[in-house]
Amino acid sequence: MSANVSPRPSEPDVHLSVFLHGARFDFTACLTAALIFVREHQAQHYVDAVTIDLGATSRYPRLPCERLYLDP
């Protein structure tokens, strides 16, 4: 499977913006992976350090290890 293909093509892709240790990282992820990532990130880091939006996603790389965030 190509690195740019969603592991869940039936779901919308979202823009995931992560602010960590003074740096901002932008990714594309399917909605399920993004929501689970946010939940796990908030449990370990600052609550407001991640945002999700439905804007353009094609310019961002996919979330690394996105498949790991598909099951809670």
Structural domain span for residue 53:
13-62
Give 67 or 43, the one with higher predicted confidence: 67
Residue 5 within a domain: no
Residue 47 within a domain: yes
Residue 38 within a domain: yes
* pLDDT mean across residues, the chain: 87
Do residues 16 and 34 touch, judged by C-beta distance below 8 A? yes
pLDDT digits (tens, 9 = 90+) for 1-29: 456 889 999 999 999 998 888 889 999 99
According to DSSP, residue 34 is labeled H
Alpha-carbon span 22 to 56, nearest angstrom? 24
Residue 48 has pLDDT above 80, yes or no: no
Task: Compute the radius of gyration of the chain from its Cα atoms.
Answer: 11
